[in-house]
Amino acid sequence: MLDKVNVSDSERTRALGLSTVAFTACFAVWTIFSIIGIEIKAELGLSEFQFGLLVATPILTGSLTRLILGVWTEKYGGRLVFTTQMLLTAAATWMLTWADSYVVYLIAALGIGLAGGSFIIGVAYVSRWYDAGRQGTALGIFGAGNVGAAVTKFVAPFVMVAYGWQGVAHVWAAGLALMAVIFFVFAKDDPALVAQRKSGRKSPSLAEQFAPLRNLQVWRFSLYYFFVFGAFVALALWMPHYLVDVYKLDIRTAGMSAAAFSLSASLFRAYGGHLSDRFGARAVMYWTFGFSLILLFMLSYPPTDYVIMGKDGPIAFSTQMGQWPFVITLFVLGFFMSLGKAAVFKHIPVYYPDHVGAVGGLVGMIGGLGGFVLPIIFGSLLDLTGIYTSCFAFLFLLVALALTWMHFSIRAMERSAQGARFGQAAATA
């Protein structure tokens, strides 16, 4: 499409810059319960499961809406869809302060969840401004807007201490509404949409847009994203609570410590896009899953006391990860998850260039559902086992499954390719 429309570098940069800032603002709102949820939990006397459901509910809406938002973005353009989505989310965030019961909080949280749909809107919008050779880097830069989770963890605790959690909701809502206005005023329609309008071509039907979703490969990509993005969101929501309970930190210290993970899992996404362009997304996924297995094994090992019968009597020692080793290990895990997020979405425009909205919407939806399901699983496992590190043990098993499926699928593809080359050689011999 880009060869048919004159697109300047400044227009590309503006589209990418505005989308990244808008996504950052949306992500800050999407993870707002990671901070204000702690105070709401205390006010309502919620159980671990109820707390997990509360912080995960916005993730549900953000996940389920991604599929249709991706399709709408391809049909109506990112400028209109992004602006509308931000205004609706800002209104829901402001109305959160009117809640007076747990059920009403959950209903308001569903509205706030629209913020999560911003990701696929931006992917479908930004990818249309860049050719295949630069899409990985561009989408990596856009995806770095995940840093909005760190913004919430850094800033929201101080706003909450000064003005209460209601003050956080008001400030975040006003900021998002302002961003919506700025985006609508300064953004332009993408070149593919402009070309389509000039030519008078009809938009593809829903059946045509959703056709690639029958491919098993799309669902395999979805499992990858369930971990690299879904687990990122889940941990971003869960870690402040985890740090307060396990290491007895106050909310400000816990928020800033958890922000280290959100930063590494966001800022390095642009680098992940660069590495995917240079070495291939497949190689980056191997790095992501391999190192994540090692790091999650370290994090999942619970504090344990050992007694060994030595020559001179019992020898007692214990294993326990301190606060700073924990934060550093989590930071490194976030780095590799960040690379993986970029690598997954590097695959999509390459394999499905005409269906980025539909395929990316499904992959993003499944990944986002990880952010909804996993906090609930974390809370349930904690209630069931009483072991705080059970959340990391579950993620370890998830990564092992994803790595195994990826490896055997790639081996099958390589064998198929070798067989095809052998058949061609035999036919020309």
pLDDT per residue rounded down to tens, the chain (429 residues): 444 446 777 888 898 999 999 999 998 998 888 888 888 888 888 887 788 788 778 888 888 887 788 778 878 888 899 999 999 999 999 988 888 888 889 988 999 999 988 988 988 888 888 876 777 778 878 878 878 877 888 888 889 988 888 999 999 999 999 999 999 999 888 777 766 666 666 655 555 556 666 777 888 888 999 999 889 888 987 888 899 888 988 878 887 888 888 788 777 877 888 888 888 888 999 999 999 999 999 999 887 777 788 777 787 766 778 889 999 999 999 999 999 988 887 878 777 776 766 777 778 788 878 888 898 899 889 989 999 999 999 999 999 999 999 999 888 877 776 665 655 544 444
Indicate the domain borders of the chain.
9-197+207-418
Q: What does the CA dihedral 409, 414, 416, 420 come to, rounded to 10 degrees?
A: 160
Residue partners of 293: CB distance under 8 A and separation at least 6 = 396, 399, 400, 403
Contact 243, 257 (CB under 8 A): yes
CA atoms within 13 A on the CB side of 385: 14
Opening angle at CA 119, ends 229 and 126, nearest 5 = 120
Please give the single-letter amino acid code of residue 398. Answer: L
Q: How far is CA 38 from CA 51, 52, 198, 235, in A?
A: 8, 11, 52, 15
Q: Quote the CA–CA distance of 49 and 53 in Å, as a whole number.
A: 6
Nearest one of 23, 36, 41 to 144, comparing CA atoms: 23
> What stretch of H or E contains 281?
helix 281-300
Q: Please give the DSSP secondary-structure letter assigned to residue 352.
A: -
Q: Which residue, among 209, 177, 245, has the nearest Cα to 382 in the 3D structure?
A: 245
Hey, is 396 helix, strand or coil? Answer: helix
Please give the C-alpha separations between residue 230 and each of 155, 164, 205, in angstroms, as whole numbers.
Answer: 23, 29, 30
Q: What is the pLDDT of residues 242-298, one digit of tens each?
A: 998 889 888 788 878 888 887 887 778 778 888 888 888 889 999 999 999 999 999
Could you give the CA distance from residue 392 to residue 242 in angstroms, rounded to a whole number? 12
For residue 271, what are the contacts with CB-CB under 8 A and spacing of at least 6?
A: 140, 338, 339, 342
Per-residue buried b or exposed e for 90-129, using 16+ beta carbons within 10 Å of the residue's own CB: bebbbbbeebeeeeebbebbebbbbbbbbbbbbbbbbbbb
Q: Read off the pLDDT of residues 121-176 as tens digits, 9 standing for 90 and up.
A: 988 888 888 876 777 778 878 878 878 877 888 888 889 988 888 999 999 999 99
Residue 187 in 3-state DSSP?
Answer: coil
pTM over 0.75: no
Homologous superfamily (CATH) of 9-197+207-418 is MFS general substrate transporter like domains (1.20.1250.20)
User: Quick one: CA torsion of 261, 180, 100, 48, rounded to 10 degrees?
Assistant: -20
CB-based contact 356:74 (threshold 8 Å): yes
Question: How many CB atoms neighbour CB 350 within 10 A?
Answer: 14
DSSP assignment of 89-150: HHHHHHHGGG--SHHHHHHHHHHHGGGGGHHHHHHHHHHTTS-HHHHHHHHHHHHGGGGHHH
The helix/strand/coil state of 315 is strand
